[in-house]
Amino acid sequence: MREIALQDISGFRIGSAENVDAATGCTIIICPTGAPCSVDIRGGGPASRETELLNPVAAAEFVHAVVLSGGSAYGLSSADGVMRYLEEHDIGLPVGDALVPLVVASCIFDLECGKNVRPDAAMGYAACVAAEKNLPLVEGNYGVGTGATVGKLLGEEWMMKAGLGTYALAVGDLQVGAVVAVNALGDVLDEEGKVLCGLRDPSGGGLADTRKLLLEKGEALAQIMQGAVTNTTIGAVITNGKFNKAQLKKIAALASNGMVRAVCPVNTTADGDAIYALSVGEVAADLDYTGVLAAYAVEQAIRRAVRAAETAYGVPALDQFCK
């Protein structure tokens, strides 16, 4: 197994756009010739578009773009700009005399940071233009990760800054990569299972442990968690392994295990967690093995997202907190 760049995987382009002042942005994955795709949604509050298109029994066998956006449900409008860009570049499904780009989308809630401005069609279009260069994504406070935060059980006062992360690896000819925006209610854990970034301790310096607090304080904090709907960790795994939509449904589910290992608690009713899986190649590969690699890529991308994040909008990141 060796680490590679996400862009070493051919068959797709990826780009970001953001409004730094407004603390929001979007990241777009474009598959010009279409790619089989599915999704695993485990959170209780997803903001999504065209999700049913990815059902294994739905007619469409591929999509042309995946949108990962800030702005909560408002950010879904960024997909309109993506559709316009794809139509202008003759990318889409021929339907009679029309060309219909198939675009799916998920959003994080980042409205607590910056100004009340959300990603719109213009920003989605700009991210597609950025994807033309297909340069390595800048991690941290960029794209969909611009306004991302973690550790929000006790409210905004004690949360920390997170962001966008990527990771990719190869085993022989098989390549698997992940891009994830980390915006969780819970904490991000390091490789040893210790809290890396998340809820700050209100009683003094250092980090609290969200899971430990829930275990100790019980229903009082659980009720706070149930009232919070401002979190979502979303992402996509991309592989050159050849899989159909039904197989990708399982790979997406396996990839979500990486989120389970790196975020705690996760998949709550206060989170809208979702992971897409796309096949952009023709390499023969085992489904379960690819899913294991995808989970590892997601896990590493999540940690890279918080390690790359920078203090902003009055919210400390690891760059400040560890000094």
Q: Are 277 and 104 in contact (CB under 8 A)?
A: no
> Can you give the pTM of this predicted structure?
0.95
d(CA 275, CA 32): 21
Q: Which residue has the tokens 């829930």?
A: 214
Confirm if 118 and 72 have CB atoms less than 8 A apart.
yes
Q: Which residues pair with 315 in a beta bridge?
A: 312
Chain segment 70-89, per-residue pLDDT in tens: 999 999 999 999 999 999 99
For 203-220, what is each residue's pLDDT tens digit? 877 899 988 888 877 665
Q: Is 109 exposed, middle or buried (0-12, 13-18, 19+ CB in 10 A)?
A: buried
pLDDT per residue as tens digits for the range 147-159: 999 998 888 889 9
Please, which pLDDT band fits residue 228 given cuts at 50, 70 and 90?
A: low
- Distance CA(2)–CA(66), nearest Å, equals 26
Specify whether the CB–CB gap between 85 and 125 falls below 8 A.
yes
